Amino acid sequence: MCGIVAYVGAREAFPTIIEGLKRLEYRGYDSAGVCIHNHRLRVFKKSGKVNELKKSAVDAQNAGCTGIGHTRWATHGPPTDINAHPHLSNSGNLSIVHNGIIENYLSLKEELIKKGYTFYSDTDTEVLVNFIEEVSLHHTGTLEEALGLALKRVVGAYGLVLLDVNQPGTILAARKGSPMVVGVGKNEHFVASDASPFIEFTNEVVYLKNEEIAVVTKDKLKLINLENIGQTAYIEILDLELEEIEKGGYDHFMLKEIFEQPRSVSDCMRGRVEPARNLLKLGGLQNNAKPLYRAERILITACGTSYYAGLVAEYLFEDLCRIPVEVEYASEFRYRNPIIREGDVVIAISQSGETADTLVAVEMAKDLGATVYGVCNVVASSIARATDAGVYTHAGPEIGVASTKAFTAQLTVLTMMALLAAKYKGTITHPEFANKLSALAGIPAIISRVLEQQEYIKEIAYQFRNADNFLYLGRGYNYPVALEGALKLKEISYIHAEGYPAAEMKHGPIALVDEDMPIVVIATRDHAYDKIVSNIQELKSRKGKVIAVVTEGDQTLPDMVDYTIEIPQVDQHLTPLISVVPLQLLAYHIGVLKGCNVDQPRNLAKSVTVE
Catalytic residue numbers read 2, 606
Residue 489 interacting with ligand G6P (CB under 6 A): no
Residues near 269 by Cβ (< 8 Å), separated by ≥ 6?
412, 416, 440, 441
Least distance between ligand G6P and beta carbon 491 (Å)? 7
Residue number, nearest CB to ligand G6P = 304
Least distance between ligand G6P and beta carbon 447 (Å)? 19
Least distance between ligand G6P and beta carbon 362 (Å)? 11
> Which one of residues 71, 193, 352, 600 is an interface residue with ligand G6P (CB under 6 A)?
352
Q: Which is nearer to ligand G6P, 550 or 605 (CB)?
A: 605
Q: Which region, judged by CB under 6 A, interacts with ligand G6P, from 193-201, 215-223, 257-265, 302-310? A: 302-310
Q: Which is nearer to ligand G6P, 67 or 304 (CB)?
A: 304
Residue 404 interacting with ligand G6P (CB under 6 A): no
What span, in angstroms and rounded, lies between the C-alpha atoms of 69 and 36? 9
Residues near 529 by Cβ (< 8 Å), separated by ≥ 6?
523
Residue 351 interacting with ligand G6P (CB under 6 A): yes
Interaction residues for ligand G6P, span 303-322 (CB under 6 A): 303-306
Q: What are phi and psi of 142, to 5 degrees?
A: -80, 170
Q: If we measure between CA atoms, which residue out of 525, 528, 479 comes closest to residue 505?
A: 479
**Three-state secondary-structure class, residue 549:** strand
- With contact defined as beta carbons under 8 Å apart, do 259 and 222 qualify? no
Q: Which is nearer to ligand G6P, 47 or 350 (CB)?
A: 350
What span, in angstroms and rounded, lies between the C-alpha atoms of 181 and 541? 57
What span, in angstroms and rounded, lies between the C-alpha atoms of 269 and 554? 30
* String of contacts with ligand G6P for each residue 355-384, x by CB under 6 A: x--x--------------------------
- With contact defined as beta carbons under 8 Å apart, do 419 and 425 qualify? no
Interaction residues for ligand G6P, span 571-600 (CB under 6 A): none
Q: Which region, judged by CB under 6 A, interacts with ligand G6P, from 54-62, 127-135, 301-309, 454-462? A: 301-309
Q: Which is nearer to ligand G6P, 112 or 391 (CB)?
A: 391
Residues near 445 by Cβ (< 8 Å), separated by ≥ 6?
262
Least distance between ligand G6P and beta carbon 348 (Å)? 9
Distance between first and last Cα of the chain: 10
Q: Which is nearer to ligand G6P, 68 or 583 (CB)?
A: 583
H/E stretch holding 147 reads helix 143-152
Residue 495 interacting with ligand G6P (CB under 6 A): no
- With contact defined as beta carbons under 8 Å apart, do 81 and 122 qualify? no
Residue 401 interacting with ligand G6P (CB under 6 A): yes
What span, in angstroms and rounded, lies between the C-alpha atoms of 372 and 395? 22
Least distance between ligand G6P and beta carbon 193 (Å)? 13
Q: At what angle do helices 405-425 and 575-593 cross, to 10 degrees?
A: 170
What span, in angstroms and rounded, lies between the C-alpha atoms of 183 and 200? 11
Least distance between ligand G6P and beta carbon 311 (Å)? 13
Interaction residues for ligand G6P, span 80-139 (CB under 6 A): none
Residue 47 interacting with ligand G6P (CB under 6 A): no
Maximum separation of any 2 CA atoms in the chain, in Å: 82
Binding positions for ligand G6P, rule: CB under 6 A: 303-306, 350-352, 355, 358, 401-403, 604, 606-608
